[in-house]
Structure 1
Amino acid sequence: MAVSVTLPALGESVSEGTVTRWLKAEGERVEVDEPLLEVSTDKVDTEIPAPASGILASIKVAEDETVEVGAELAIIDDGSGAPSEPAPAAAEAPAAQVESSPAPVAEVPAPAAPAEEAPAAPAAPAGGAEGTPVVLPALGESVTEGTVTRWLKEVGDSVDVDEPLLEVSTDKVDTEIPAPVAGTLLEIVVGEDETAEVGAKLAVIGVAGAAPAAAAAPAPAAPAEAPAPAPVAQPEPTPAPAAPAPAPAPAAPAAAPAAPVQAAAPAAAPAPAAPAAPVTPAAPVTPAAPAAPVSGAEADGAYVTPLVRKLAAENGVNLATVQGTGVGGRIRKQDVVAAAEAAKQAAAAPAPAAAAAAPKAPAVEASPLRGQTVKMTRMRKVIGENMMKALHGQAQLTSVVEVDITKIMRMRNKAKDAFAAREGVKLSPMPFFVKAAVQALKAHPVVNARINDDEGTITYHDVENIGIAVDAEKGLMTPVIKGAGDLNIAGIARKTAELAGKVRTNKISPDDMSGATFTISNTGSRGALFDTVIVPPNQVGILGIGATVKRPVVINHPELGETIAIRDMTYLALSYDHRLVDGADAARYLTTVKQLLEAAEFEAEIGL
């Protein structure tokens, strides 16, 4: 039964989505609720899970295509689990095998009588072996060709149905091609590092045991020549002068069947037949496998796909030091990612010791993006459109104040361990800023408002929904703490950690991103002293938090009078829509936030 995968409703205001990446290829098996594809909307990027278990039979919407909510994205066959394409191949296999069976039967007795028949058996694979063809399947609507990166089986090997037969790399994905039927690999048509179009024949699989039978045919001929069995171990030097090309063949296991063929050739009177036999067998040709490691020599002899090589270059990973976990020790994308993460952790560990020894300039490496032209992501386009809309639709201005948060920092250092143990989240300075900003919004609703341009009215909100700007890998995202005015420090800390975690794990929903009445952006987390942040659409204010730095400040001590002391200082920058918020309004709001932070009366909320 075919199960349709459709684009679900991702929010009330979301009417369409763009397929950014397919996580599965056609023909691959998926489990229910397993991530199937990634979709980008003007609100959020999210993953679409599989509605049922089965085989991904067809992909209806290619990557970078945009469709409306409810549109069909793909079809999953939830039948027995076998791919729909190999099924008819398996059904046709018996017929093909029945037709080809008389040929081996006729050839088996032939070698017993005339010795000249032995070379004729390997001649069949050269001209096109009879059996079930292995073709390159469709791996996506936009994929027209693939490159054979590695053969997992050699000519003469036995294979089972659905057993991985070879690996193929496309511009979208690296994947394994399974055997459509059980049998013996008779012929490899497309060698490693060769590119073939979708539908092209890659190999031929014959009746199980067919290849061993053909290989055994020369064996009866060997006993016919009594002396031949003994010299079989040493005929290698004898044919060497006759044909220098087979010399490297003894290093490969495939040379074993070739030796009897050459031994039989001298027994035959006509010498011209001897050179023809070594050229015919596919076995000596297929040892392109040793050639593959040459192209990936940097990976310590294991073949590396182009995608993995590119990923390693982008992350500065030396493939020679990576231990592959793929089939036959092949290095996979996951191995490179793990190695890059391990390298980052290893670099971070000795950093404090090095800094303690002597401060050094950080190593600045050139980005792999230098000199490249890449497509703008949908998320980047949406961010740009919103920023331009905000700048063109508002009269924006920024006011800045300096705040002494020494008490806040001391209070946090004193309570952070007990707070983390009690609440289950770390106590960062951010919840203190959010708490102060929210309390000030209640006193200055002009900053927590919205201008209704079409109606010519102003809405002063009775709730404080605070958007928190999060620097994510895909771009700046702003999840919303709903009802922040009713939360204490612990509640704000938990909600902030929850939303930030959703953003970084791509689990954020459109509802988590909508409804903000005021936004806070911690630009100081990356070292900026302050920033002229842009007010988001449908809001009239945004608060930017600068970096906290220690510096000498003149303070008024109750006993010592004016004196200089080392204090923790930061800048708060309020950008606002000057159509509604005047400079005096902005200054009053910032002054209230400053007073709340410098008073630092949050002991009860953090358990002190």
Structure 2
Amino acid sequence: MAKFTFNLPDIGEGIAEAEIVAWHVKVGDRIEEDGQLADMMTDKATVEMESPVSGTVLEVAGEVGDTVAIGGMLAVIEVEGEVPDDVLEVNEAVAEAADAPAPKDDEVEKRIEVENPDPSDQEDAAEAVEKDKPAPAPTPAPAPAPSSAATDTKVLASPAVRKRAKDLGIDLAQVKPHEDGRIRHADLDAFISYSGGYAGSGPARADEEVKVIGLRKRIAENMAASKRNIPHFTYVEETDVTALEETRAQLNENRGDRPKLTLLPLLISAICKTLPDFPMINARFDDEARVVTRHGAVHLGMATMTDNGLMVPVIRDAQNQNLWQLAREIGRLAEAARSGTAKSEELSGSTLTITSLGPLGGVATTPVINRPEVAIIGPNRIIERPMFVRQPDGQERIEKRKLMNISISCDHRVVDGYDAAAFVQELKKKLEAPATILAG
């Protein structure tokens, strides 16, 4: 028997440490070579760590929510026979690169006690499991009635949504889901509002404590740092998108096998055509070096809501893509973010971010800047209202128009209020004259 200390390998350029968001084994378990050991989260992505050897887990680095330095001990595994030389070489190289020499197998003198983990650790780990894998409850739940079980398994919903529906006595099969087929809390709220029978009739939900770990912890840290370090200001302008929506409908009628256009590709294209005259908007600010980098290429961050929290995949070189290419890339990146398959390079390096809540966009928003960027743009909900419209003969007539507010939050250390307003006014002109967006 030999004890192998598995050191956390380098899992990304510039990464010094990673957070434990889930353990797939516990002390005393047997793990096979290439078996899933743990999920580790960096600032950029979640990485699944696999065991390089087969054996029994004797020690783990910590609990869910703890951090482990690159090159530091992640787990100690007792193996039968000798550890392969190539595995030892790679493992020791990782430790040496991190200035933390790996202990040799025959020098491990510390007595390792095999302990049963606290049940709460298993509960915390279960909260970080990737989308669509139901989290195990700490105690078996009573079996639902056959009719309910038969229908609930046919709909897509997170464990939290399923639990809430069960507490309220709602059959998920009766709830209309989002366009992607997944039922969310907002869908339950809408069902309650219109059904009448469930409003206020369900039992009070029990209090629950949720440990802030993984992606939610990163979001909390990033948002706090952004508001703490950046003096935000927000500017909002109303835009008439009637002609833009008519153009979008015409393009969709003749799209063939190309993806259906939403408003987002048109808005992104208009932004890219406006930015060359406002380079201070497409920039990143290095606080420590006190340097602002104004970027020529537009690497557009796209705030995307997932079951695990907000993620920002990046559309590379958005300025070089046409509407259909943008639509396809938006769909691909959104799906990758929601399914947890987005690569680390697809979640970093943005120079400007756009955040849209679609039909939930509200009248106006004050989005928080995605640091170290200096601006973030938020289109709001499209609403129809009567409006005075000047006719070719100079007369004004009241017409029903589609209107949308555009919000932009900027870093006041870098962007002046006048520049932000001028940028949005120029963007407004392009959106109200769609031909300028389609022109080469």
TM-score, shorter chain, exceeding 0.5: yes
In 1, distance between residues paired with 2:303 and 2:10?
25
In 1, distance between residues paired with 2:336 and 2:175?
27
Number of residue-to-residue matches in the alignment: 372
Query: What secondary structure does 2:387 align onto?
Result: strand
In 2, distance between residues paired with 1:5 and 1:523?
43
Matched-pair contact (CA < 8 Å) for 2:22–2:38: yes
In 2, distance between residues paired with 1:482 and 1:63?
36
Tell me what 1:190 maps to: none
Tell me what 2:297 maps to: 463
Query: What secondary structure does 2:175 align onto?
Result: helix
Q: 1:588 aligns with which of 422, 433, 438?
A: 422
Matched-pair contact (CA < 8 Å) for 1:450–1:459: yes
Query: What secondary structure does 2:353 align onto?
Result: strand
Matched-pair contact (CA < 8 Å) for 1:62–1:141: no
Query: What secondary structure does 1:446 align onto?
Result: coil
Query: What secondary structure does 1:496 align onto?
Result: helix
Matched-pair contact (CA < 8 Å) for 1:533–1:544: yes
Tell me what 1:402 maps to: 238
Query: What secondary structure does 1:392 align onto?
Result: helix
Q: Equivalent residues in 2 for 1:422-571 (5 A)?
A: 422-423=257-258, 425-558=259-392, 561-571=395-405
CA RMSD of aligned residues (A): 4.3
**Offset at residue 574 of structure 1 (A):** 0.9
Instruction: Indicate yes or no: 2:23 matched with 1:22.
Output: yes
Q: Equivalent residues in 2 for 1:208-607 (5 A)?
A: 306-309=138-141, 321-322=148-149, 344=172, 346-348=174-176, 360=194, 371-416=207-252, 419=255, 422-423=257-258, 425-558=259-392, 561-601=395-435
In 2, distance between residues paired with 1:141 and 1:556?
78
Change (3 A) 1:445 1:373: same
In 2, distance between residues paired with 1:348 and 1:558?
46
Question: Which digits, 9 at most, give the CA deviation of each residue in 1:88-136, with x for residues without a partner?
Answer: xxxxxxxxxxxxxxxxxxxxxxxxxxxxxxxxxxxxxxxxxxxxxxxxx
Question: Which digits, 9 at most, give the CA deviation of each residue in 1:440-497, with x for residues without a partner?
Answer: 1122112112344444443221121111111122222212212111111122222222
**Offset at residue 344 of structure 1 (A):** 3.8
**Offset at residue 391 of structure 1 (A):** 2.3
Matched-pair contact (CA < 8 Å) for 1:39–1:48: yes
In 1, distance between residues paired with 2:257 and 2:267?
21
Change (3 A) 1:444 1:306: closer
Tell me what 1:37 maps to: 38
In 1, distance between residues paired with 2:119 and 2:230?
50
In 2, distance between residues paired with 1:434 and 1:142?
53
**Offset at residue 322 of structure 1 (A):** 2.7
Matched-pair contact (CA < 8 Å) for 2:374–2:414: yes
In 1, distance between residues paired with 2:270 and 2:293?
22
In 2, distance between residues paired with 1:563 and 1:142?
77
Question: Which digits, 9 at most, give the CA deviation of each residue in 1:196-246, with x for residues without a partner?
Answer: xxxxxxxxxxxxxxxxxxxxxxxxxxxxxxxxxxxxxxxxxxxxxxxxxxx
In 2, distance between residues paired with 1:560 and 1:385?
55
Matched-pair contact (CA < 8 Å) for 1:523–1:530: no
**Offset at residue 588 of structure 1 (A):** 1.1
Question: Which digits, 9 at most, give the CA deviation of each residue in 1:229-268, with x for residues without a partner?
Answer: xxxxxxxxxxxxxxxxxxxxxxxxxxxxxxxxxxxxxxxx
Tell me what 2:50 maps to: 50
**Offset at residue 433 of structure 1 (A):** 1.3
User: One-letter code of the match for 1:27?
Assistant: D
Q: Equivalent residues in 2 for 1:178-189 (5 A)?
A: none
Q: What TM-score, normalized to structure 1?
A: 0.52
Change (3 A) 1:170 1:508: closer
In 1, distance between residues paired with 2:363 and 2:355?
13
Query: What secondary structure does 1:576 align onto?
Result: strand
Tell me what 2:61 maps to: 61
Matched-pair contact (CA < 8 Å) for 2:119–2:138: no
Question: Unmatched 5+ residue regions in structure 1?
Answer: 81-139, 147-168, 175-303, 325-332, 352-358
Change (3 A) 1:397 1:52: same
**Offset at residue 77 of structure 1 (A):** 7.8
Change (3 A) 1:438 1:51: farther
In 1, distance between residues paired with 2:73 and 2:396?
72
* Higher relative contact order (Cα pairs below 8 Å, separated by 6+ residues): 2
Matched-pair contact (CA < 8 Å) for 1:407–1:600: yes
**Offset at residue 507 of structure 1 (A):** 1.8
Identity %: 26
Matched-pair contact (CA < 8 Å) for 2:36–2:51: no
Change (3 A) 1:319 1:527: farther
Matched-pair contact (CA < 8 Å) for 1:398–1:574: yes
In 1, distance between residues paired with 2:427 and 2:437?
17
Question: Which digits, 9 at most, give the CA deviation of each residue in 1:477-529, with x for residues without a partner?
Answer: 21221211111112222222222112111122332222111111113443422
In 1, distance between residues paired with 2:313 and 2:274?
21
Question: Unmatched 5+ residue regions in structure 2?
Answer: 82-113, 127-135, 152-157, 180-192
Tell me what 2:13 maps to: 12
Matched-pair contact (CA < 8 Å) for 1:404–1:570: yes
**Offset at residue 535 of structure 1 (A):** 1.8
User: One-letter code of the match for 2:42?
Assistant: T
In 2, distance between residues paired with 1:389 and 1:170?
30
Change (3 A) 1:318 1:63: farther
**Offset at residue 395 of structure 1 (A):** 2.4
Question: Which digits, 9 at most, give the CA deviation of each residue in 1:565-586, with x for residues without a partner?
Answer: 2222111011112222222211
Change (3 A) 1:12 1:601: same
Q: Equivalent residues in 2 for 1:167-186 (5 A)?
A: none
Change (3 A) 1:347 1:63: same
Change (3 A) 1:364 1:597: farther
Tell me what 2:109 maps to: none
Change (3 A) 1:50 1:564: same
Question: Which digits, 9 at most, give the CA deviation of each residue in 1:403-440, with x for residues without a partner?
Answer: 12222323333333653x523x4422111111111221
Matched-pair contact (CA < 8 Å) for 1:18–1:67: yes
